[in-house]
Amino acid sequence: MEVVYAIEAHAPGHPKSVVPGIEGGTFRNFPRPHRSPDGRRWVVVATMNGFTGTQDQALVTGVGLTGAAVAQESVTLDNSGETFAFFTNVSPRVLNDGRWISAVSGGDKVVEGNLAGTVTIVARGGTPIGAPPGVEFAANAFSSANLTAAGPSFLASIAIAPSGANEMGIVGAEAELSMPIDVPTGQAGETEYPIADVDANSFWTSDSGVRWLAQGRIANPDQAADKVLVVDGAVRIQEGSTLPGMAAPVSAITESFMEGNGDWYSRGSNADSTGWIVKNGAVVAQTGGAIAEGSSESWTTFLDVRGNGRGDFAIAGRTNAEPIRSDVLVVNGRFIVSRESDGVDLDNDGVNETELFLHVLQNRVMFADDGYVYFGSRLKPAADATADVTGSASSSSLLRVAACPADLGRTGGVAGADATLDNNDFIAFIDFFFARDRRADRGGTGGVPGADGAWDNNDFVVYIDEFFGGCGA
């Protein structure tokens, strides 16, 4: 469990708590990061100490364990000479080259920036900037912004439109979805209704701009059947209808998201209180079900799900384990890659700290293509502690963990995940083994998985099983 960046309360005076690129700033909290199309770059708007509430958010982007702030609210100027505030709960998206996009200033505009600090307005409320012909955006109009091959995409409220639409999903200055105009196919019942509304921050597009997802409401007068998830114009999940393989109808659609490669995910619950996670239409996890293959532990609550560009997915949630071990991060329904009370490596030297341990996981997961899952977690001062580190105020640091147990080496046998299993992983494992590194302590007597404090043949048996077991779903 490596710390990418730590909030100051978790690591006072440590370089990891300093906001790179902003003098006097230290990290106070991390929301969810997002990844670039190639799955390697990340972006996040972090909250900082050292500034007033109007200047305490910074957009930070990086690769792996290294990043830099490229914009600060109420300080950075856009191309109109105005400052802007980052919109609470609206996450930016980023391209491979560091270009980023976000709705800002309470949603009154969408801006695009780059690593050089240049920021350009691509859509503005109360104007036709960035709109289809004849359309004018309403004030405070925007959310869910993304950069696609077809141009910027975002969800927008509409003041003027020839069609009479009051809300649109925009892709490349064209209306991909118009409300209450378009009628999604695949609705339950004999009557099909137009889509009436899309939830804030719930219109997402693929990196190509060809595919899209919208979570919202159709104009069905039956309020027990009007909540829907629409993908590419077709209803894929509907309140009051039953998901494949489940007993009770859907009662809530909590959150839905489309990854850059077009894979889509949704989480919600049924009328019988069963929670679920769906990937591309298939239920991949449900409360009461095993958290991983062969596990006797079961899910009780889901917090988040995200995928990478390879089709893998990571679920953060809570289980029926003892309370100080109940929050887990699971990859592909196969690997438990982190668990509450696990140790944390602040210095990235392979050695866990003695006073930092995972506590409560958050809905802040990003699955990169570099072999790591990035996630936000609260931290605690001891493995058996039940409260956060003093002064951390339920805030999260940004961490990462290798998504595949056997993924230990990169080109040249250098330690580090790369999402590929090959000879480099064996070289790294052997180096760890002879160095008596905890990363090679994998097996107990009889080749049973689990660290036992001894480096012997059992560790090779388990590692070989892990290697040939692969990483994919």
Condensed to tens digits (0 to 9), the pLDDT of residues 5-29 reads: 999 999 999 999 999 999 999 999 9
Q: Any idea where the domains of the chain sit in the sequence?
A: 1-6+291-403, 407-473
Cα atoms in the 13 Å half-sphere on the side-chain side of 24: 7
Q: Tell me what the mean pLDDT of segment 357-374 comes to.
A: 94
Across residues 414-434, what is the average pLDDT? 93
For residue 328, what are the CA distances in angstroms to 305, 306, 308? Answer: 12, 14, 18
* 427 pLDDT above the threshold of 90: yes
Which of the four pLDDT bands, split at 50, 70 and 90, describes residue 149?
A: very high
Question: Are the C-beta atoms of residues 297 and 315 closer than 8 Å to each other?
Answer: no
> What is the rounded distance in angstroms from the CA atom of residue 163 to the CA atom of residue 179?
10
Mean pLDDT of 161-177: 96
Residues in a beta bridge with 304: 316
Average pLDDT, the chain: 95
Q: How high is the pLDDT of residue 90?
A: 79
User: Which pLDDT score is estimated for 349?
Assistant: 86
Q: Is pLDDT of 87 > 90?
A: no
- The pLDDT score that the predictor gives to residue 257 is 96
Q: What is the pLDDT of residue 79?
A: 96
Could you tell me if 31 and 93 are in contact, meaning their C-beta atoms sit under 8 angstroms apart?
A: no
Long-range contacts formed by 151-155: CB under 8 A, 24+ apart: 151/209, 152/101, 152/110, 152/112, 152/122, 152/123, 153/203, 153/205, 153/209, 153/212, 154/103, 154/110, 154/123, 154/203, 155/198, 155/200, 155/201, 155/202, 155/203
Quick one: average pLDDT of 349-366? 93
Q: How many residues does the chain have?
A: 473
The pLDDT assigned to 450 comes to 85
- pLDDT at residue 293 in the model: 86
pLDDT at residue 471 in the model? 85
- Closest by CA to 143, choosing from 153, 134, 133, 151, is 153
**Is pLDDT at 88 greater than 80 in this prediction?**
no
Q: Across the strands, what pairs with 103?
A: 110
Query: By the 8 A CB rule, do 10 and 344 touch?
Result: no
**Residue 144 and residue 138 in contact, taking contact as beta carbons nearer than 8 Å:** no
**Position 419 confidence tier, pLDDT thresholds 50, 70, 90:** confident
pLDDT interval class at 95 (50, 70, 90): very high
Q: How far apart are the first and last CA of the chain?
A: 22
- Residue 350's pLDDT band (boundaries 50, 70, 90)? confident
Q: pLDDT class for 393, splitting at 50, 70, 90?
A: confident
Give pLDDT, residue 456: 94
User: pLDDT tens digit string along 223-235?
Assistant: 999 999 999 999 9
Q: What is the mean pLDDT of residues 204-213?
A: 96
How many whole angstroms separate alpha carbon 104 and alpha carbon 108?
7
Rounded CA separation 454/442 (Å): 9
Q: What is the pLDDT, as a whole number, of residue 305?
A: 97
Residue 153: strand pairing partners: 146, 171
Backbone φ/ψ region at 260: left (φ over 0), alpha (ψ -120 to 50), beta: alpha
Could you give the CA distance from residue 433 to residue 451 in angstroms, rounded to a whole number? 12
Q: What is the widest separation between alpha-carbon atoms in the chain?
A: 74
265 closest CA partner among 285, 250, 251: 285
Find where tokens 């979805």 sit: 177
Which of 356, 332, 331, 329 lies closest to 344 in space, CA to CA? 356
pLDDT at 337: 93
Mean pLDDT, to the nearest integer, of 89-115? Answer: 93
State the Cα–Cα distance between residues 129 and 279, nearest whole angstrom: 35
What does the alpha-carbon distance between residue 36 and residue 195 come to, in Å, rounded to a whole number? 30
Collect all residues with Cβ–Cβ distance below 8 Å to 82 and sequence separation of at least 6: none
Q: What is the mean pLDDT of residues 198-203?
A: 94
Amino acid at 232: D
Question: Nearest-CA neighbor of 304 among 374, 355, 247?
Answer: 374
Q: How is the beta sheet containing 313-319 ordered, strand by strand? A: 299-307, 313-319, 327-331, 335-339
The answer to whether residue 325 scores a pLDDT higher than 80 is yes
Give residue 89's pLDDT.
Answer: 72
Q: How many helices (H) and strands (E) does the chain have?
A: 2, 33
Q: What percent of the chain has pLDDT over 70?
A: 100
Tokens representing 11 are: 């690591």
Query: For residues 132 and 161, what is the distance between their CA atoms, to the nearest angstrom?
Result: 9
**pLDDT at residue 91 in the model:** 84
At residue 451, the pLDDT reads 85
pLDDT over 80 at 248, yes or no: yes
